[in-house]
Structure 1
Amino acid sequence: MTTRRSIIMAGAAAMLAWLPAAASAQEPIRLGEMNSYTALPAFTLPYRKGWQLALDQINADGGIDGRPIEVISRDDNAQPGDAIRIAEEFVSSDRVAVIWGGFFSNVGLALTDFAKQRKVPYLATEPLADAIVWSAGNRYTFRLRPSTAMQSAMLAEEAAKLDATRWAIVAPNYAYGTDAVTAFKAELLKRKPDVEFVGEQWPPQGKIDAGPTVRALEAMKPDAIFNVTFGGDLAKFVREGEIRGLFEDRDVVSLLSGEPEYLEPLGAEAPEGWIVTGYPWYAIDTPEHKAFAEAYEAAYGEHPYAGSLVGYNSMLSLAAALRKAGSEDAEALVDAFEELEVVDAPSGTFRYRASDHQSTMGAWVGKTAVEDGKGVMVDWRYADGADYLPTDEAARALRPAE
């Protein structure tokens, strides 16, 4: 009996010793996500649906080495202060492996500095300011979307083909707008040195007074306009400009305006013939994109938006980094992100450069049109982000020494 009892107790002890290890193997990998969900729902709500779709697919396929991914999501209210408070909670209380998200560039820049100070990986999925990976870049920050410099270069390439020489500018007065204008001017002058910039309008983001802005631009008598406004400001600008004839016989080159988040609300009032970056989801026929679009529509009963694509690609990026790192350790994840290749993405394979931590995800460039009472993109092409980035050597020179 003593021997039998000893055998039973030994077996029970062995099983108890095994249980914590088994439970630990199934513990979720926590990721801390934040975005401006209430401030800009047109983009961020599809974005959330995009990353949720990818998350569901990854977890249904076994997660990361058998461990599911858990996302703790918060609303940063488009305020840098709120974003920093949330990030601190993520790190101190929630013990997340990565912080990711952000929409507005001022929020992204605040989180970029937080990542540097706290030595935690940060994936800036949507903020476009060049400083995030260049002048304020650091070891712990990476960026997914093509930056203002990249998209401005794509547009300048098309703008240089126009007959226009006198250009006027309208852009929101914060980092995204100022970076975009600086980049567009430099890229257009590089391609067409005889152009002249005759004036600028800098309305506050989300508070454009469209009437005076349009009148000021008209008074400049430009041949063409470079527009950087988006969201509600874009709608007000388009409608006021149409009423006052600002766009008649003038070329307009416009950042992001081909994205369905901003084009669809205009309906039949959408501008025609503008050169834009955007997302013609209805016409992209690659197998990867078709699979994504079909799964998205099946899950949510609506077509994907640009935000949906960014959200989906962000989760694919995080999963790829976790697999490559084989660890939740911050330094291992940072090392994994450098030269990380994300394959089979709906927008095509892209990678995160070691030189500046910018991804090579591209954008679609084309013209706006109205079809069946809706704004769409036509005559578009996919512009590979890798073709619009500085060399690795030049990129390193743009970053602070570490």
Structure 2
Amino acid sequence: MSKVLYKLLIGGVLASSFVASASWAADTIKIGEVNSYKAMSAFLGPYKKGWEMGLDEINSQGGVLGKNLEVIYRDDNANPGDAIRVAEELRTREKVSMIFGGFLSHTGLALTDYAKRRKMIYLAAEPLTDKIVWENGNDYTFRLRPSTYMQVAMLIPDAVKLNKKRWGLVYPNYEYGQSAVATFMQLLSKAQPGVEFVVEQATPLGKIDAGSVVQALDDAKPDAIFNVLFGADLGKFVREGNTRGLFAGKEVFSLLTGEPEYLDPMGAEAPEGWYVTGYPWNKIDTPEHNAFKTAYEAKYGEYPRAGSIVGYTSIKTIAALIKKAGSTDTDDLIKAFSGLSHNTPFGPITYRSQDNQSTFGAFVGQTALVDGKGEMVNFRYVDGADVQPSDEEVAAMRPAN
């Protein structure tokens, strides 16, 4: 074979490969995802399975705008600096159209600021701090899960009914815990004038000294406790509190504790009678949830967790958004996000134009031991639209962009 013919053949193969690659890329919409997979695996393992299942469903039904969605994900090591670094890599190297994800509030706030600076859409899937859509809110950042304010507001009616005067507070000492306690104090004091907060325990995230925390709470003799701990910190607190009898005769209100990610590891040590927000996965009987649960169990051979719902709903939001926008242009996506509505395993949700917060809700109930395992009982679903401050209050908190 002559050198000239060889070069022509090689050139043709390379050209064909380039065309095929370009054609594949043109048929794919790339979405970036950033999260703390290694640090928060109990929640984010099921979360990833959730968005992967949703992605498979979307693409098996023809994708969006005639193209498949592709998710390229990165781990942020639960560090705000790393979150920004990998987000920039996704934007510049992978050329993603938008990003979603986040778990911890401080990484979520970093991505919120990044979205504003780079003029790029960010859907905060899990971070709960109110600042994401209020004080630090911007035109490019939207949030799925009910915020700290919303979840606290869901618990207030039950707290008021019990009419307990002396309260103890325990929370992880970072943005999420701080804002949750501040909101609880504000809303309860408004609804029940004269309430007292007699002890406050702010613990390092992931490094609780459960013995000293329980002792401080017990010494103060509160009538009730508001808890914001989660993960391993929650388990240690519950174990020590059970051992020392802290919870006997006291009402306990606790954010997120009804989620199986946090109840399951405690096994028979799970608390009983706590008022919680959470996800009673095995007791919800609606067509939307039954369809999701059946598909999830068939795909993974396990029951869904709260993270599964969040991941699944996040990617469904993105598909609905791009379909409504008719493009992946950022300005078009911003316009489409205002008032965007779509169905979820919990029913329909809408993204509010006031603050880019969705009306996705949560379940409120009590914990109980059932067959040696913690579950939610006496629960109800609270629509996120019903636990929002007024539009005037939101406007006062949200900066002009």
Q: TM-score, normalised by structure 1?
A: 0.93
Structure 2 match to 1:123: 123
Aligned mates of 1:145, 1:75 — CA distance in 2 = 20
CA–CA separation in structure 1 for the residues paired with 2:51 and 2:391: 30
AA aligned opposite 2:154: M
Residue 351 of structure 1 corresponds to which residue in structure 2?
A: 350
Which residue of the partner structure matches residue 253 of structure 2? 253
1:5 equivalent in structure 2: none
CA distance in 1, matches of 2:48, 2:395: 32
1:24 shift after superposition:
7.1
Structure 2 residue aligned with 1:386: 385
Greater mean alpha carbon deviation, residues 154-163 or residues 243-252: 154-163
Q: Does 1:66 align with 2:66?
A: yes
Match of 1:13 in 2: none
**Displacement after TM superposition at 1:119 (Å):** 0.3
Cross-structure match for 2:83: 83
Q: Please state if 1:298 is matched with 2:308.
A: no
Deviations 1:179-232 (A, max 9, x none): 101111111112111211111000011110100010011111100000000000
Indicate the residue corresponding to 1:369 in structure 2: 368
Q: Does 1:171 align with 2:171?
A: yes
Find the counterpart in structure 2 of residue 315 from structure 1: 315
Q: Where does residue 4 of structure 2 map in the other structure?
A: none
> What residue ranges of structure 2 are gaps of 5+ in the alignment?
1-15
RMSD between aligned alpha carbons? 1.4
Offset from partner CA, 1:217-272 (integer Å, 9 cap, x none): 11111000000000000000000000011000000000000000000111111100
Equivalent residue for 1:279? 279
Aligned partners of 1:346, 1:308: CA distance in 2, in Å? 11
1:242 aligns with 2:279: no
Amino acid aligned to 1:299:
K
Aligned-partner SS, 2:303: coil
- Which whole-Å CA distance do the structure 2 matches of 1:170 and 1:304 have between them? 29
Distance in 1, Cα, partners of 2:205 & 2:251: 23
Distance 1:61 1:24 in 2: 18
Give the aligned partner of residue 397 of structure 1.
396
CA contact (8 A) 1:101 1:123 kept: yes
Q: Deviation of residue 392 (structure 1)?
A: 2.5
Counterpart amino acid of residue 59 in structure 1: N
Q: Deviations over 1:305-362 (max 9, x none)?
A: 000000011011100100011111111111111111022x101101111110111100
- Kindly state the Cα deviation for residue 120 of structure 1 after the two structures are TM-superposed: 0.1
State the alpha-carbon separation in 2 of the partners of residues 260 and 168 from structure 1. Answer: 25
Say whether the 8 Å CA contact 2:27–2:66 is kept in structure 1.
Answer: no
SS state at 1:31 partner = strand
SS in 2 for 1:171: strand
The 3-state SS of whatever aligns with 1:161 is helix
Residue in structure 2 matched with residue 222 of structure 1 by the alignment: 222
TM-superposed deviation, 1:25: 9.0
Identity %: 60
2:207 aligned partner: 207
TM-superposed deviation, 1:163: 3.2
- What is the rounded CA distance, in whole Å, between the counterparts of 2:282 and 2:88 in structure 1? 40
AA aligned to 1:368 is: T
CA distance in 2, matches of 1:152, 1:179: 10
> Aligned partners of 1:253 and 1:390: how far apart in 2?
21
Partner-residue secondary structure (3-state), 1:257? strand
* 1:222 aligned partner, one-letter code: P
Following TM superposition, where does structure 1 have runs of at least 4 consecutive aligned residues deviating by more than 4 angstroms? none
Q: Distance in 2 between matches of 1:266 and 1:122?
A: 34
Does 265-274 or 389-398 show the bigger shift? 389-398
What are the superposed Cα offsets for residues 128-156 of structure 1, whole Å, 9 maximum, x if unpaired? 00100000000000010000000001111
Q: Distance in 1 between matches of 2:236 and 2:66?
A: 50
* Partner residue, 1:103: 103
CA distance in 2, matches of 1:196, 1:391: 26
